C-alpha cells in the first residue's frame, strides 16, 4: 500500500512537471495563456472596444412568408398533421374573436378591464402547440392563447373576467389574471418579470425529480429590462435548468417603443452572454414558433439546460383597455402589421394546402361567435363568491386575527348591509 502510494505520488509529480515543460515550450513568448477564473480566453495586443457593431445581428427564423408560402422545405420535413394545423387555426381565430368581444364589453362597462392578444396569436398558439401538458407554464398576461390551446374553456375566461362564483381564483384578481392547476398554468400576477426566477426554480425541481418535462416562461421585451430577468437568465444557466424563456418582442411596452428599452441586438443577444442557447423567430409565423419551441423543448429535456426564444411580433391592439395606442404610434404603422398578421398568413397557407375553404371559414366564425356570446351571457348572470372568501387563503389555515376581522365585518354588515352590494354575492 505504502509503495503504491509512493508510486502514485511520484507519477503525479512527474506528470505535473511534464505539463509545466509543455506549457513553457508552447508559450515561449511573453504572451501567456490567461488563468482568470471563469473566463476562457486569449490575450491580445490590439486595443479594441467590443460593441453590437462587432457582431452580426441574430437572424429571424421563418418558415412562412407573408403570402403564406413556405419558404423552406422544412415544413414538409417536420410534418405537422392536418388536424393539428386546423386546431392551430381554429384557436388563433377563437382567441382573436374572444378578444374583440371582451374588449367591446369592457368599453360598455360590463367588465372592468381587459387585455387583447391581437397580433400575437401565433406566438401563443405556435409555442403552446409544441409543448406537452406536463410542461408547466409561467406567463406574463398576454398568453391567453396558451390556455386556450390546453383546453381552458371559453366560459372559464369569462368567469375569471367577471370574478363570478365559477372563477377558480375566487374573484380576487383583475381580469386576464388566469390560472389553472389542471392545465399546469401558474396563476398570473401583475408585477412584471417576477415569474422568471420562479419558473427557473420550478425547472430546477423538475430536473431533480427527473421529470421528462420542461418549464415554459413567457414575458415581453419590456419585462426583460427588470432585474428579475437578469437574475433568472443567470440562475437558469449556472444551475442548469430545463426552461424555455420565450420573449414576446412586440415593439412596445405600453407607450415605450423597444428602441427606448434596449440598445443592443434585442433580447436574443442577451442569451449567449449568459451561456444560454438562443434563437430569434418570426413571431407572426406560427410554424416557425412551433418548430423553434419544439426543438427548444427537446434540447431542454435532453441536456437539462435553458433556451431563450425571442419571437419578433407586433402588438396590434392597445396595451390594455386603459390605453389608447394611437396616442404614441401611427395608424399607418398598425396597418403595416395587419398586412403580415399571423392569422391571415396561416390561413393562406392552409388554403393553399387544400385543407381549408371559405365555407369552413364562415362556419367556424358563426360557431365560435355563438360559443363566446353564450359563455359571456352565462358568466354575467352568475353571482360573485361569498364575501367571506375575501378572508380565506391568505394562509393555509385562517389565523385568529384574520378570523376576528372576518367576524367584525360580519357584525358590521348585520347593521349596515344596505350600503353594500351584498345581493351580487352568493349568500
Partner 1 sequence: MIFTFVFRTSRKLLELHERKKHIRNLHFKFYPNTSSLVSERKTEKLNMYQAINQALDITLKKDTSAVIFGEDVAFGGVFRCTVGLQKRYGSDRVFNTPLSEQGIAGFGIGLANCGTTAIAEIQFADYIFPAFDQLVNEAAKCRYRSGGMFDCGKLTIRTPCGAVGHGGHYHSQSPEAYFAHTPGLKIVIPRGPVQAKGLLLSSIEEPDPCIIFEPKILYRTAVDEVPVGHYKIEIGKGEIVKEGKDVTLIGWGTQVHVLLETADIVEEKLGASCEVIDLLSIIPWDAELVCKSVRKTGRVIVAHEAPKTNGFGAEIAARIQEECFLNLEAPIMRITGWDTPFPYIYEDLYLPDKWRCFAAVKKSLDY
Cβ–Cβ under 8 Å, residues 161 and 171: no
Check residue 393 and report its DSSP letter.
T
187 binds partner 1 (CB under 8 A): yes
Q: Is 304 in the site for partner 1 (CB under 8 A)?
A: no
Q: Shortest distance, CB of residue 400 to partner 1, whole angstroms?
A: 7
Least distance from C-beta 386 to partner 1, angstroms? 13
Residue choice 131, 158, 232, 268 for contact with partner 1 (CB under 8 A): 232
Residues carrying an active site annotation: 104, 190, 319-320
Q: Determine phi and psi for 313, rounding to 5 degrees.
A: -150, -165
Secondary structure (H, E, C), 319-384: CCCCCCHHHCCCHHHHHHHHCCCHHHHHHHHHHHCCCCCHHHHHHHHHHHHHHHHHHHHHHHHCCE
The answer to whether residue 230 forms part of the interface with partner 1 (CB under 8 A) is yes
With 0-12 CB in 10 A as exposed, 13-18 as middle and 19+ as buried, what is 397? exposed
End-to-end CA distance of the chain: 83
Cβ atoms of residues 307 and 272 within 8 Å = no
Binding range to partner 1, per CB under 8 A, among 11-19, 94-102, 175-183, 368-376: 175-183
Work out the burial of residue 167: count CB atoms within 10 Å of its CB; fewer than 13 is exposed, 13-18 middle, 19 or more buried. Answer: buried
Does 426 engage in binding with partner 1 (CB under 8 A)? no
Q: Contact between 25 and partner 1 (CB under 8 A)?
A: no
The correct pick among 48, 83, 332, 401 for binding partner 1 (CB under 8 A) is 401
Q: If DSSP codes are grouped into helix, strand and coil, which group holds residue 278? A: strand
Print the binding letters for residues 117-136 with partner 1: x by CB under 8 A, - otherwise. -------------------x
The residues near 112 (Cβ < 8 Å, ≥ 6 apart) are 106, 174, 175
Q: Does 286 bind partner 1 (CB under 8 A)?
A: no
What would the DSSP string read from start to end of 209-263? TT-S--EEEEEETTGGGSHHHHHHHHHHHHTT--EEEEEEE-SEETTEEGGGT-S
Residue 401, CA distances (Å) to 386, 396, 398, 409, 412 in order = 20, 14, 8, 13, 17
Quick one: which segment of 232-240, 256-264, 294-302, 311-319 binds partner 1 (CB under 8 A)? 232-240
User: Does residue 408 bind partner 1 (CB under 8 A)?
Assistant: no
280 touching partner 1, by CB under 8 A: no
Does position 194 interact with partner 1 (CB under 8 A)? The reply is yes
Out of 40, 208, 381, 419, the only residue in the binding site for partner 1 (CB under 8 A) is: 208
Q: Shortest distance, CB of residue 198 to partner 1, whole angstroms?
A: 4
Question: Contact region for partner 1 (CB under 8 A) — 107-115, 204-212, 305-313, 352-360?
Answer: 204-212
Choose between 136 and 261: whose C-beta lies nearer to partner 1.
136
Return the range that interacts with partner 1 (CB under 8 A); candidates 2-10, 94-102, 165-173, 327-335. 165-173
Q: Which residue lies nearer to partner 1 by CB, 119 or 242?
A: 242
Q: Select the span of 26-34, 61-69, 124-132, 394-402 touching partner 1 (CB under 8 A).
A: 394-402
Residue 191 interacting with partner 1 (CB under 8 A): yes
Beta bridge partners of 246: 218, 309
Contact between 332 and partner 1 per CB under 8 A: no
Quick one: which of 34, 227, 257, 272 contacts partner 1 (CB under 8 A)? 227
Phi first, then psi, for residue 187 (nearest 5°) are -55, 135
Cβ atoms of residues 374 and 156 within 8 Å:
no
Q: Find out whether 220 and 141 touch, Cβ atoms under 8 Å.
A: no
Closest distance of CB 415 from partner 1, Å: 20
Under 8 Å between Cβ of 304 and 207: yes
Burial (CB count <10 Å: 0-12, 13-18, 19+), residue 136: buried
Count of residues binding partner 1 (CB under 8 A)? 49
Interface residue list for partner 1 (CB under 8 A): 136, 138, 167-170, 172-173, 177, 179-181, 186-187, 189, 191, 194, 196-206, 208-209, 227-228, 230-232, 234-235, 238-239, 392-397, 399-402
Amino acid at each position: 500500500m505504502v509503495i503504491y502510494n509512493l508510486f502514485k505520488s511520484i507519477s503525479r509529480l512527474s506528470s505535473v512537471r511534464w505539463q509545466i515543460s509543455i506549457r513553457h515550450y508552447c508559450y515561449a513568448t511573453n504572451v501567456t495563456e490567461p488563468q482568470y477564473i471563469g473566463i476562457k480566453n486569449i490575450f491580445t495586443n490590439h486595443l479594441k472596444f467590443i460593441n453590437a457593431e462587432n457582431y452580426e445581428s441574430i437572424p429571424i427564423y421563418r418558415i412562412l412568408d407573408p403570402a403564406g408560402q413556405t419558404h423552406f422545405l422544412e415544413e414538409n420535413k417536420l410534418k405537422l398533421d392536418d388536424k393539428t394545423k386546423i386546431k392551430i387555426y381554429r384557436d388563433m381565430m377563437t382567441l382573436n374573436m374572444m378578444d374583440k368581444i371582451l374588449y367591446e364589453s369592457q368599453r360598455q362597462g360590463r367588465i372592468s378591464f381587459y387585455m387583447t392578444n391581437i397580433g400575437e396569436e401565433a406566438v401563443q398558439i405556435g409555442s403552446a402547440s409544441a409543448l406537452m401538458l406536463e410542461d408547466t407554464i409561467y406567463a406574463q398576461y398576454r398568453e391567453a392563447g396558451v390556455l386556450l390551446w390546453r383546453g381552458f374553456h371559453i366560459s372559464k375566461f369569462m368567469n375569471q373576467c367577471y370574478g363570478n362564483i365559477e372563477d377558480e381564483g375566487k374573484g380576487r384578481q383583475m381580469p386576464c389574471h388566469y390560472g389553472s392547476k389542471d392545465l399546469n398554468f401558474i396563476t398570473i400576477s401583475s408585477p412584471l418579470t417576477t415569474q422568471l426566477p420562479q419558473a427557473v426554480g420550478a425547472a430546477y425541481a423538475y430536473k431533480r425529480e427527473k421529470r421528462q418535462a420542461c418549464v415554459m416562461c413567457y414575458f415581453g421585451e419590456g419585462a426583460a429590462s427588470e432585474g428579475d430577468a437578469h437574475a433568472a437568465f443567470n440562475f437558469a444557466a449556472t444551475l442548469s435548468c430545463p426552461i424555455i424563456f420565450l420573449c414576446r418582442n412586440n415593439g412596445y411596452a405600453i407607450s415605450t417603443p423597444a428602441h427606448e428599452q434596449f440598445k443592443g441586438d434585442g433580447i436574443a443577444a442577451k442569451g449567449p452572454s449568459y451561456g444560454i442557447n438562443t434563437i430569434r423567430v418570426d413571431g407572426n409565423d406560427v410554424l416557425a414558433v412551433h418548430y423553434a419551441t419544439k426543438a427548444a423543448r427537446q434540447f431542454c429535456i435532453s441536456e437539462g439546460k435553458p433556451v431563450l426564444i425571442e419571437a419578433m411580433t407586433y402588438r396590434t391592439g392597445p396595451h390594455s383597455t386603459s390605453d389608447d395606442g394611437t396616442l404614441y404610434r401611427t395608424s399607418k404603422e398598425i396597418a403595416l402589421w395587419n398586412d403580415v398578421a399571423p392569422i391571415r398568413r396561416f390561413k393562406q397557407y392552409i388554403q393553399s394546402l387544400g385543407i381549408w375553404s371559405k365555407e369552413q371559414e364562415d362556419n367556424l366564425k358563426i360557431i365560435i361567435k355563438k360559443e363566446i356570446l353564450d359563455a359571456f351571457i352565462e358568466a354575467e348572470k352568475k353571482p360573485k363568491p361569498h364575501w367571506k372568501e375575501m378572508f380565506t387563503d391568505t394562509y393555509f389555515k385562517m389565523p385568529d386575527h384574520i378570523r376576528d376581522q372576518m367576524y367584525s365585518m360580519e357584525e358590521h354588515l348585520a347593521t349596515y348591509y344596505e350600503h353594500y352590494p351584498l345581493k351580487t354575492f352568493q349568500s
